[in-house]
Structure 1
Amino acid sequence: MSGNELTAPPQPAPAYRFRWMLPSAVASELDPDRATGRRPRRTVRDWIVDFLCFLVAVFFGMLAAEALTKDPNTPQALANLDQVVGALACGAVWLRRRWTVGLAVAMMPIGFLATTSGGAGLIALFTLAVHRPFRYVAWIGGATMAQMPLFFWVRPDPDLPYTGAVGFTVLLGLTVIGWGMFVRSHRQLLMSLRDRARRAETEAELRAEQAQRLAREAIAREMHDVLAHRLTLLSVHAGALEFRPDAPQAEIGRAAGVIRESAHEALQDLREIIGVLRAPDGDESGRPQPTLAALDALVAESREAGAKVHLDNQVTDPGSVPASVGRTAYRIAQEGLTNARKHAPGAEVNVQVTGGPGDGLTVSVRNPAPPGDVPPVPGSGQGLIGLTERATLAGGRIEHGPEGDGGFQVRAWLPWPS
């Protein structure tokens, strides 16, 4: 394990928490106090909804209080106590968001003692069904409905028979619970869709960034493959002019011509690559990319620069090679010749191309040990890394490394569909 891993900051919490199989964003909006650990802040909408719930609780409480005053069997002291407890229960409705489960549990004994607290009990059950999972609703709602027969047996309704009062109250409670669960499911659906939309936008941004990164890497590979070849020719001939100032005039003129031509080609290639960066999407302006058919011209260019290159191209029809495969083979040969000029100047380079449809295309670039001492070249190895990436993207493989006699070989196999 590296030092960076040992000192890495703690990773953020996972994006998904399993609460009713919902994303954390959805769970936090349905149950914000449990998800964040702190009391949520009421919005204007929350104040309006809470006030309406309070009015509903007061309305049911007033209906129950009117029924108590008309019942001659209820003592006045019990009626007064019932109304006081009902008023406190209506006031407790404002705490339904903070203590959802606690309020619903407290309303069970309070509802058994005071009929005027029935509206507050219904609001508590509705809030429980909206903000808590079904297991809470099943236990607390079931216990509340189970006490209704006992309640109307102890305190019968003066206007309804026992069975009718129990059935109507249970039906009303189940309706409120079902409505609350429907509201919760609707919120879950909306918040889940909203969360999916946010995640889709994030994934689209990540895909766009990845596409840009891959495009930059492809352009960097192309710049290295193209410009390294041209600049190596410049370096070789400029070094020859530096170390042989007394060379014949014809040789100096030829070297200067190669330098001028290589500089012109390098500048043209650089302009094309910059043009690709500036061009809009889908614009494929510029010179066509080289394929295997251009391998002879590449070898001829290297020979004109003074390199000793032997080409053994056994592919009878280079034009039949797929463009992507031929372009990758060309870049591999180009990088192999460039490396040979840098690390083994004066040595004869052997380039061999074999293969056919269905068998694949094999490209081999080999040079023996250099005839003399060669100073180390800074930044070596980057081109081979780029070639490995090219071959892998094309579905092939590449091998490179020194040989026993001091030489170096680059050998690649690329797929060639039949």
Structure 2
Amino acid sequence: MNGSVTASPHAASPPRRPVRDAVVDILAFLVAAAFGILTAAERLDATMPSPAWLFDLDQFIGALGCASLWLRRRWPVELALVLIVASAWSEMVAGAMLVALFTVTVHRPPRVSGAVFALSLVSALVYTFLRPEPELPFPLLFLFGFSIQGAVVGWGLFIHQRRRLVLSLRDRAVRAETEAHLRALQAQHQAREAIAREIHDVLGHRLSLLSVHAGALEYHPGASPEDIAGAAKVIRESAHQALQDLREVVGVLRAPVGELPRLALADVRHLVAESRLAGMGVKLAEELAGPAPDRAGRAAYRIVQEGLTNARKHAAGAEVRVRVAGAPGRGLEVEVRNPVPAPPPPAPAPTAHSASDLLPGTGQGLIGLAERVSLAQGRLEHGPTPEGDWRLWAWLPWPA
């Protein structure tokens, strides 16, 4: 053992040609050989050519031309040119020349095959001068050769164009399949983004409530049993509601397309009541001229939900003002304001987790809101105001 690796003979050997190509090559050889044999037999039945060695030379050139057809797939144009030149004198190589001309027409562009065809016509014209037929006049002999070569080239062009059409159809099918795959991937991506927004909006609000009540129990260990029992009840109810909301989202994913949670502006009051129960100071102002459209109502609900969740995480104890106003033709405005809290002084690393630690802000909620409002063809603004508040504002269309 010298440690060398011996390549597998199967891996090193070139791929085999298809059986169809081998059959076509055999048929092409047999057709060319039959053409030469029939021509030779016709000459023998008529008058023996003189001198005899010219007839033998013609047979030899015809046999050599038939044998050279096995190279037509490797050098189609070169072989056709050689056989065309030989056919200017030898009539027994004409069958091999026609097969080579057909091969060039099928496998090469029309510009190349047209040039080769023109050269074959010149060769046919030379042949009529060098070897005229006593029984046939010159124009008729040339027209006969032109007809045969033209039929071969026409057949080859038909096959060439048909192959190009098949290849174009295959390419179009591949492109269509690729585009369908990309559209499916895009649809999956959009569905995942929609799922992420829905889960964030649904669970973020509930988990922030759990965080507030759990943090209150953690930082007030001396609370009375009644307060502890009340906080535990709120935690249990919030956890149960979070599970219900999660089941609703999963149910939407399993339901047919188009079945969304039935949220409306009327549910904003429930959001405000839950936040007040968690200890937040929330003021709600509604100035509506009627029930808002479903799409705008759902978006407004999510905006208020995200605004209350962010205020609970980043401005604990601050008073939050929620305003919902709108009318048909004027649009629907949603605004959530709260004072910006002062930055806390630096402190050593805590040993316990606060409510904001349990729900770190990543900005994904505002990104999801921007996408949701954009899909509803509305506008979204958020950021600090000159009055020192943090403002989340959105306008949504409300058709007249």
Aligned to 1:396: 378
- SS class of match (1:367): strand
Q: Give the superposition deviation at 1:190.
A: 2.4
Would the aligned equivalents of 1:369 and 1:405 in 2 still touch at CA under 8 Å? Answer: no
Partners of 2:252 and 2:261 within 8 A in 1 = no
Instruction: State the Cα distance separating 1:141 from its structure 2 match.
Output: 0.6
Distance in structure 2 (CA, Å) of the matches to 1:283 and 1:236: 35
The answer for the alignment partner of 2:19 in structure 1 is 44
Q: Tell whether 2:389 aligns with 1:407.
A: yes
Aligned length: 375
- Runs (4+) off by over 6 Å: none
Distance 1:281 1:41, change over 3 A: farther
Q: What corresponds to 1:368 in structure 2? A: 339
Letter in 2 for 1:350: R
Deviation at 1:56, TM superposition (A): 0.9
Q: From the CA coordinates, give the structure whose radius of gyration is larger.
A: 2
Opposite residue 194 of structure 1, the aligned amino acid is R
Residue 125 of structure 1 and its aligned partner are, at CA, apart by 1.2
Moved more, 238-247 or 170-179: 238-247
Matching residue of 2:9: none
- Whether the 8 Å CA contact 2:89–2:130 is kept in 1: the answer is no
Shift in alpha-carbon separation, 1:71–1:315, aligned structure 2, 3 A: farther
Distance 2:15 2:231 in 1: 79
Specify the SS of the correspondent of 2:88.
Answer: helix
Question: Any conservation in 2 of the 1:357–1:416 contact (CA below 8 Å)?
Answer: yes
1:188 equivalent in structure 2: 164
Instruction: Output aligned runs, 1:170-185, within 5 Å.
Output: 170-185=146-161
Instruction: Show CA shifts across 1:346-379 (max 9, x none).
Output: 1111112223333322211111123783987534
Question: Tell me, what secondary structure is at the counterpart of 2:213?
Answer: helix
Q: Which runs of 5+ in 1 are unaligned?
A: 1-38
* Secondary structure class of the residue paired with 1:97: coil
Distance 1:97 1:386 in 2: 61
1:305 aligns to 2:278 (yes or no): yes
Provide the secondary structure at the position in 2 that maps to 1:60.
helix
**Aligned residues with identical type, % of pairs:** 53
Which residue of structure 2 aligns with residue 18 of structure 1? none
Residues 375-394 of structure 1 mapped to structure 2, 5 A cutoff: 377=357, 378-394=360-376
The answer to whether the Cα contact below 8 Å between 1:68 and 1:74 also exists between their aligned partners in 2 is no
Is the Cα–Cα contact under 8 Å of residues 346 and 371 in structure 1 kept in the other structure?
Answer: no
- The aligned counterpart of 1:226 is 202
**Equivalents in 1 of 2:73, 2:208: separation in Å?**
75
The alignment yields a C-alpha RMSD, in angstroms, of 2.3
Distance 1:106 1:322, change over 3 A: farther
Are the aligned partners of 1:325 and 1:414 in contact in 2 as well (CA < 8 Å)? Answer: yes
- Aligned partner of 1:9 in structure 2 is none
Question: What's the CA shift string for 1:22-61, capped at 9, x where partnerless?
Answer: xxxxxxxxxxxxxxxxx98521011111111111111111
Structure 1 position 146, deviation (Å): 2.8
Q: Aligned equivalents of 1:44 and 1:146: distance in 2?
A: 36
Give the deviation of 1:81 after TM superposition.
1.0
Separation in 2, partners of 1:116, 1:128: 20
Query: Matches of 2:267 and 2:176 in 1, distance apart?
Result: 45
Alignment check: 8 A CA contact 1:346 1:370 kept = no
SS in 1 for 2:32: helix
Which sections of structure 2, spanning at least 5 residues, go unmatched? 1-13, 346-353
Scaled by the length of structure 2, what TM-score is found?
A: 0.87
Q: Summarize deviations over 1:278-330 as a string: whole Å, max 9, x none.
A: x364594xx8331222111111221121111111221232x3x2212211111
Aligned runs of 1:277-288 on 2, under 5 Å? 277=253, 279=254, 281-282=256-257, 284=259, 288=261
What is residue 293 of structure 1 aligned with on the other side?
Answer: 266
The alignment's TM-score, normalised by the length of structure 1, stands at: 0.83
